[in-house]
Chain A
Amino acid sequence: MEAGTASSGSGIHLPGMEIAKASKNRYEVMIGPAHPGSGHMRIFVEVDGDIMVKVDPDIGFVHRTMEKLAEGREWIQNIPLFERIAILDACNITLPYVRAVEKLLGIEAPERARYLRTLLCEINRVASHLYGMGIFGVFLGHSTLYMWAFGDREVFIDLAERLTGARLTHTYPVFGGVRRDIPDDFPEDARKATRYMRKRLNEYAKIFLNNPNIRSRLENVGVLTKNQAAELGLVGPNIRASGIRYDVRLNEPYEAYGDVDFEIPVFEEGDSLARAWARVEEVRQSLNIIDQVVTWLEKHPRENFMHEKFWKTAPKLYKDVYEGKISYSPKYRIKLMPIFASLKVPPGKSFARVEAGRGEIVYYVESNGDIFPYRVRVVSPSFRNVIAFKYVMPGHRLMDLPAIYGSFDYFPPAFDR
């Protein structure tokens, strides 16, 4: 696997790609880790002519030892830590951790907090899908889609900022509720954003998904049958594009998903194009959910976004601002309830799952009654999707690699944790 140079004649050296001879007529191509299309990972591909015969994803370039770090931090400090798994999907990524700890504490968030969490989860899902689509576009040389998707993603990041105060790492759901309520003029902005995005989605379909150039590269490429997808244990829109009707929001409704009305788009084809369509249709459903949740929040009084057990320990300033006795001013530094700093969680084991943008994310949390967790296990959606590269890519042409890679919406930092 030594890097050859053009002058020595033993191999070919291209920027970002190293090619070495593996056996007779077979060459090993390394894509990444500094390749523009690979992200923070490397893919070993063995090619015969230009047909891939063996694909081995080599990952771990952005590993941050999160599971170990979590054992040395207080329960509340782990929320900002786990957000770094995928900052653009922060609410969905940390929500199962919060839920697993809430199960151990034996509390449940009040109704308003459940709606607020649902709201941010859906805003994150739209942003995450737009990000994935933008990267997918640039993989296929369609830079217009990249510009469009990243531009439109900004709308939803702005919404999240209005709601939480931060563009990406929101730390919004905390044990027992959420950090704050919506601003007064938020519903109007949210409706404006969803109206705009619905219109845009039709244009996306016109320029990208129904574009003959793109279709010829995606149709019947990387086909996964229903049984294969289940055997590999893939998650998210990837299995729904293969005909599996599985979504945690549907199968084990959490937060407010049991009360809102939405559909789970399921496709039968299982190819790259179906996976791209699944994302677009999911964005449409998310927009519907945002509208419903915002209407619910408007109709109901602004109270109880935090569980009573924690709310009664809140600083007076915090309460006064939220009860409307004094108006908020940036000079106040409103902090979280001090009880979180010395929170001890009763011993036990718990497990929680949530449908994040890229698919299901699961947490296994074990406590021995200390102020630190005894063990936290995170399995992110990309962790479970990466196995597809090994089993789906062989048999396709090397040219199809970006089309398959991009269609799985794989995000290396989410794998490596």
Chain B
Amino acid sequence: MISLQDMIKEALGNNIIKIEDNKGYIDVVVPLEKLKESAIKVKQLGFDHVKSVTAVDYIQKKQFMVTYHISSYLNEELSRHVLGLSTFIDRDNPHIPSLATIWTSAEFQEREVYEFFGIIFDGHPDLRLLLLTPVVAALKPLRKDFVVKEDSINIEVDYAAYNATKWW
């Protein structure tokens, strides 16, 4: 019985930068230009759907990490495992090839990452905003430099300015 890690190593060959057994999934990091090629190879192994498309903002390294969590429905052996196909992209030029043409299930998820991080998925069949309005999406809310302003519990009132508006 060949282990899943070996199977993936054999299929992807030297495309892999790093492969590690994380908690709950196996993370495979591939370079950006090999992402699409690797995805096609992984799909041929039997990983037939995308569970989640995630981006993480590493603001100090000026990078985004994009992870596709994929698994299988039709192959019962593979369905026990979750594979993370990750790649790092430049934060100032966030372009990544879309995998929605390979896995239809990634279509809506890529649209969501697009609006929350401003990452552009090249070749996506229908890249539009999904949840947010154009005004909010322009702020790219899930990036780390977007800080949520919280209201203070103390109401700050400028009494001088307030009194100046009154006749007394």
Contact = CB atoms under 8 A, between A and B. Distances in A.
A252 B72 CA distance: 13
Interface string B50-70: 111010110000000001010
A226 B27 contact: no
Interface stretch (B30-38, B87-95, B99-107, B155-163): B99-107
Interface in B131-167: 131-132, 141-142, 146, 148, 150
Q: Kindly state the interface size class of chain A when it binds its partner.
A: 35 or more
A362 B131 contact: no
Given A232-B104, A351-B82, A387-B108, A67 B23 contact: no
A387 B51 CA distance: 13
Contacts of B142: 67-68
B44 interface: no
B52 A364 contact: yes
B22 A351 contact: yes
Chain B contact residues: over half helix, strand or loop, or mixed?
Answer: mixed
B105 A72 contact: no
B141 A226 contact: no
Interface residues of B, number: 37
A103 B132 contact: no
A251 B75 CA distance: 11
B118 interface: no
Contacts of B84: 351
Contact of B73 (A72, A229, A350, A379): A229
Nearest to B106: A233
Given A68-B141, A364-B54, A59 B130 contact: yes
A60 interface: yes
B9 to A, nearest CB: 20
A316 B37 CA distance: 59
Chain A contact residues: over half helix, strand or loop, or mixed?
Answer: mixed
Contacts of A360: 51
B109 interface: yes
Interface stretch (A24-32, A124-132, A238-246, A291-299): A238-246
A1 to B, nearest CB: 14
Contacts of A63: 131-132
B15 interface: no
Nearest to B112: A383
Contacts of B48: 230-231
Contacts of B51: 233, 353, 360, 362, 379, 384
B22 A349 contact: yes
B67 A364 contact: yes
A147 B74 CA distance: 38
Given A59-B131, A63-B131, A230 B54 contact: no
Contact of B69 (A59, A229, A348, A351): A351
B148 A69 contact: yes
A249 interface: no
B79 interface: yes
B104 A233 contact: yes
A233 B103 contact: yes
B122 to A, nearest CB: 21
B6 interface: no
The CB with the most chain A CB atoms within 10 A, among B54, B79, B82, B146, is that of B54
Contact of B148 (A72, A104, A252): A72
13 contacts: A60-B131, A63-B132, A72-B148, A227-B74, A229-B73, A231-B49, A244-B73, A244-B74, A246-B73, A351-B84, A364-B69, A379-B51, A379-B52
Interface of A: 59-60, 63, 65, 67-69, 72, 100, 103-104, 226-227, 229-233, 239, 244-246, 251-252, 348-353, 360, 362, 364, 366, 374-375, 377, 379, 383-384, 386-387, 391, 416
